[in-house]
Amino acid sequence: AKAPVRVAVTGAAGQIGYALLFRIASGEMLGKDQPVILQMLELPIDKAQAALKGVMMELEDCAFPLLAGMVGTADPKVAFKDADYALLVGAKPRGPGMERKDLLMENAKIFIEQGKALDAVASRNIKVLVVGNPANTNAWIAMKSAPSLPKENFTAMLRLDHNRALSQLASKTGKPVDSMEKLIVWGNHSPTMYPDYRFATIAGQAAPAAVNDDAWYKNEFIPKVGKRGAAIIEARGVSSAASAANAAIDHMRDWALGTNGKWVTMGVPSDGSYGIPEGTLYGVPVTCVGGKYQRVTGLAIDDFSRQKMDFTLKELQEEQDGVKSMLG
Ligand code: NAI
């Protein structure tokens, strides 16, 4: 039997945590032969710690054969101790009257502290996925705050956007989602993201030809994928949780176990390609093999794409500028 791996999850008693932990413990993320130890972090307030205790009781009650241990804590250094994987879900939500700038700063505090804790105690090979918003900038802050860990170990979640785009294309063309390849979502996990179908194929056919409706692509599809999060809040009264947890599982599973040549979207620190300044946490197409992601390189960027990619980049740079002073 394999030795257990340590999986840290922050915001463990929140909505996404509740949709995520049970799937990790059942083996859906790292494989049905991989035991896991869950190391769960919640805020040091009674209500959050009590809720976490309840979640741990339910995990216990599932009697998952792969769940080799559990830790519940309010201390990041305990949660991240020797962690092989970290899913950073917990973040400060936007409160009434809160400016975007305040939200950025509040989250910067959290991700500076958590980056430092990862730097101090996590496995040197840790794979970090940031889900908590603003996800790209939070991942960038954690990466900057963990200078002794390889930068490529820090990623942000664009997979929900990628999956949303796949489903929209599937319903437009009437083809199954798994017949689609090579879709990309460039940039920031925000309404400025750019879902790009120029290289995609649907059941073997070029996506633009299969869709055959450029006006739909530009005027309906792109904004719909970008605003899907808001549409879910409008319908449900709370933000996407099960689909976000599902995307986190997809992201980590593919990173750890490989994509067999399939392209997926991950937010990763740029290597300077595609005109994205080095280090910027930006959604790009990757394939994964042997526990590493590799960028898809050499794609042509046309004028429409350049403009979209620069627009979402500009937003990311503004976010970075907003928190730079806190990074010292
Ligand atoms: P939630 O509010 O239900 O749960 C968040 C949990 O995190 C709470 O239990 C809270 O106590 C905890 N928490 C807050 N600060 C923490 C800290 N410093 N350390 C540890 N725990 C902390 O929120 P939900 O719905 O689970 O969403 C979590 C985050 O994921 C939000 O920031 C949301 O915007 C983001 N999100 C990102 C998506 C993406 O595609 N990247 C998609 C959907 C949500």
pLDDT per position as a tens digit, 274-322: 999 999 999 999 999 999 999 999 999 999 999 999 999 999 999 999 9
- Ligand 1 atom with least separation from CA of 157: 41
241 CB under 6 A from ligand 1? yes
- Distance, CA of 23 to CA of 2 (rounded, Å): 19
Q: Is the pLDDT score of 257 beyond 90?
A: yes
Residue 273 has pLDDT above 80, yes or no: yes
Query: Which uninterrupted H or E stretch holds 161?
Result: helix 159-173
pLDDT at 263 over 90: yes
What pLDDT band is residue 96 in, cutting at 50, 70 and 90?
confident
Q: How far is the CA of 219 from the centre of ligand 1 (A)?
A: 31
Give the confidence band of 21 by pLDDT, cuts at 50, 70, 90.
Answer: very high
**Amino acid 97: pLDDT:** 79
Q: State the pLDDT confidence band at 93, using cuts at 50, 70 and 90.
A: confident
Question: Contact, 37 vs 66, CB < 8 A?
Answer: no
Q: Which residues participate in catalysis according to the annotation? A: 189
Q: Is 43 in the pocket of ligand 1 (CB under 6 A)?
A: yes
Q: Which atom of ligand 1 is nearest to the CA of 41?
A: 20
Q: Residue 91 Cα, ligand 1 centroid: separation in angstroms? A: 5
Tell me which of 9, 16, 233 to substitute to probe ligand 1's pocket, judged by most ligand atoms within 8 Å of the beta carbon: 16
Residue 260 near residue 254 (C-beta atoms within 8 A): no
**Residue 157, phi then psi, degrees to nearest 5:** -85, 110
Instruction: Supply the pLDDT for residue 211.
Output: 98
| Confidence bin at 1 (pLDDT 50/70/90) | confident
| pLDDT for residue 28 is more than 80 | yes
Give the tens place of pLDDT for each residue, 31-90: 999 999 999 999 999 999 999 999 999 999 999 999 999 999 999 999 999 999 999 999
pLDDT digits (tens, 9 = 90+) for 164-222: 999 999 999 999 999 999 999 999 999 999 999 999 999 999 999 999 999 999 999 99
CA of 140 to the centre of ligand 1 (A): 17
CA 223 / ligand 1 centre spacing (Å): 24
Helix (H, G, I), strand (E, B) or coil at 287: strand
Residues at the binding site are 11-17, 94, 100, 107, 114, 131-133, 164
Q: Is the separation of the CB atoms in 196 and 185 below 8 Å?
A: yes
Tell me the average pLDDT across 235-241.
94
Q: How many angstroms separate the alpha carbon of residue 241 from the centre of ligand 1?
A: 9
Task: Identify the pLDDT of residue 308.
Answer: 98
Read off the pTM.
0.98
Residue type, 133: N
pLDDT score, position 205: 97
> What is the atom index within ligand 1 of the atom nearest the CA of 160?
40
Reading the block at residue 279, the tokens are 């280090």
Nearest CA to ligand 1 atom 36: 132
Q: How far apart are CA 206 and CA 138, in angstroms?
A: 35
Per-residue model confidence (pLDDT) at position 94: 82
What confidence category does residue 100 fall into, taking pLDDT thresholds of 50, 70 and 90? confident
State yes or no: pLDDT of 328 exceeds 80: no
pLDDT of amino acid 98: 81
Report which of 38, 88, 84, 42 is spatially closest to residue 62, judged by C-alpha positions.
38
Given pLDDT bands bounded at 50, 70 and 90, which one contains residue 99?
A: confident
**Binding site residue list for NAD(+):** 11-17, 107, 114, 131-133
Average pLDDT over the chain reads 97
Ligand 1 in reach of 13 Cβ (< 6 A):
yes
Residue 16 pLDDT more than 90? yes
Which pLDDT belongs to residue 101? 84
